[in-house]
Structure 1
Amino acid sequence: MSQQLRLVILALAYFTRLPMPQQHNVTAEEWAKAARYLPLTGWLVGGWAALVLYVGLQYLPVGPAIVLSMLSSILLTGALHEDGLADSADGLGGGWSTEQALTIMKDSRIGSYGAIALVIALLLKFNLLSSMEPEYLPLVLIAAHAVSRLAALMVMSSQRYAREEGKAQALASPPSIAGLLTGLLFGLLPMLLLPVQAWLALLPVLLVWVWFSLKLKRRLGGYTGDCLGAMQQLTELAFYLGIVIISI
């Protein structure tokens, strides 16, 4: 249990801005194993966004409450995944070759493709959340953040890391069977909080996952840390879209 707690702390320290107890002598194997708890960090991020939304709905109209909820999740993660979406859009949109795309994605400056992707993603997220029944919104947020991080973990299990070095290199080893099962458990368990028809919202998630995974394999020959962030953002939006379509 102490070893698993150490892995949870490593995952939270890497994927959020929460101040966590410093862990000493962390091995590459431990960093790789910590990735299994990526969906668990979604519980925390989604739960925090849900709490902010719930409190906001007590005093504000739905629109401003949703904006504050979105802002709270961005602050908690340090815009880690949104940054990945922007960098991936710049690289995949502006790079003709694999090397060019990877070079563009390492640039800290945001380009036209990245700016457009961010604006569209945030606007779409706001409009999709605004279209849902307020009573289900907090539960949808928790499920969406967990499921979308499971989607990122599944990329790690099915493709290789495309760079020889990078920020995500420490986590880049494919998860073991035990790690994958742990990720699946934490990724899908929040779905039990929603009505049974909400499971149909996983279909758009699967379609987006397959499309973007194939794109990464064709364009980059694998994934980068930015690509994982982009996958999280894209599948989170796909989940919201599925929820709106089935209208729970």
Structure 2
Amino acid sequence: MKSLFAAIILFTRLPLWRIVRVDKKQYAEILLYWPIVGFLTGATTWGTLYLASWVMPLLPACVIAVIARLLLTGALHEDGLADFFDGFGGGHDKAGILRIMKDSHIGSYGTIGLILYFILYVSLLSSFYSLALPGVIIGADVLSKLCTAVMINTLPYARTEEESKVKVLYRKIRLCEFVLVALPCLTALWLMATPFLALIPTLLILTGLRWYFNRKIGGYTGDCCGASVLLAEQFFYIGATIVYTYSL
């Protein structure tokens, strides 16, 4: 249970650290609980969008929903996405990529990448809320984290443990542990009518990212994790768009 609290503490701004003490061992286990945190962040996005849409037009309501998720997560993954664009866009070798991603300043690649990401995110979010499909919004968050956790589980860490932002390396997930977490998550999403066919683009982009990370830097970093989950989420939305376009 403490590992779940550690995941919530790391991936959100909820002050659980005030009431629960977690150590380095629990932080090493958090990859397993990442999808569960997705229910929290996904529900926050959809719930905020639902409430805001009662008092304002859909587009600004979507922007408010995105802001709510950013406030909850502290823009942790978005920071990783910006570093990913800067590092892999401006670096020419492993050392250069890792050095740029370590730099706290945002560059032109990161700026342009985030602008395009948020434009696409808001536009896709608005299209799915108009179809009244909370299972898509929550499902995109949960499944992107679940699939990214599996992908990261197959790669080594590209830096040393001391160079990690959280000073800890994620422990590899065993198959039995993955099944115990994945089955309840998938069952809950099935009950919410999440379109699992939309996972196809998500799996394709994560397969490509895994190959790219391994080729360029020989593994993953925390920034790669953040970038992967957001890109996987966007591709799930794109997949869901295709599914509902041809089924309605």
- TM normalised by structure 1 equals 0.91
After superposition, the C-alpha distances for 1:22-61 in whole angstroms (9 at most, x for unaligned) are: 4446243x22222211000000000111110111122221
Partner of 1:96: 92
Tell me the CA shift for residue 130 of structure 1: 2.2
AA of the residue aligned to 1:172: Y
| Backbone CA RMSD of aligned residues | 1.8
Tell me the CA shift for residue 193 of structure 1: 3.6
Partner of 2:29: 33
User: Separation in 2 of the partners of 1:108 and 1:183?
Assistant: 34
Partner of 1:175: 173
AA of the residue aligned to 1:130: S
The alignment of Structure 1 onto Structure 2 pairs a total of residues equal to 242
User: Separation in 1 of the partners of 2:129 and 2:48?
Assistant: 16
Partner of 1:73: 69
Structure 2 spans left out of the alignment, 5+ residues: none
Partner of 1:243: 240
AA of the residue aligned to 1:215: Y
- TM normalised by structure 2 equals 0.91
Partner of 1:166: 164
Tell me the CA shift for residue 88 of structure 1: 0.7
Partner of 2:186: 188
Tell me the CA shift for residue 112 of structure 1: 0.9
After superposition, the C-alpha distances for 1:88-145 in whole angstroms (9 at most, x for unaligned) are: 1111110001011000000000011111110111101111222235243432211111
SS in 2 for 1:170: coil
The 3 A distance-change label for structure 1 pair 104 and 63 is: same
User: Separation in 2 of the partners of 1:168 and 1:151?
Assistant: 22
Tell me the CA shift for residue 174 of structure 1: 1.4
User: Separation in 2 of the partners of 1:60 and 1:98?
Assistant: 47
Matched, 1:210 2:207: yes
AA of the residue aligned to 2:170: A
1:46-85 map, 5 Å: 46-85=42-81
The 3 A distance-change label for structure 1 pair 212 and 112 is: same
Structure 1 spans left out of the alignment, 5+ residues: none
SS in 1 for 2:158: coil
The 3 A distance-change label for structure 1 pair 195 and 26 is: closer
The percentage of counterpart residues that share the same residue type is: 38
AA of the residue aligned to 1:210: T
Partner of 1:105: 101
1:82–1:118: 8 Å Cα contact kept in structure 2? yes
User: Separation in 1 of the partners of 2:227 and 2:213?
Assistant: 11
SS in 2 for 1:58: coil
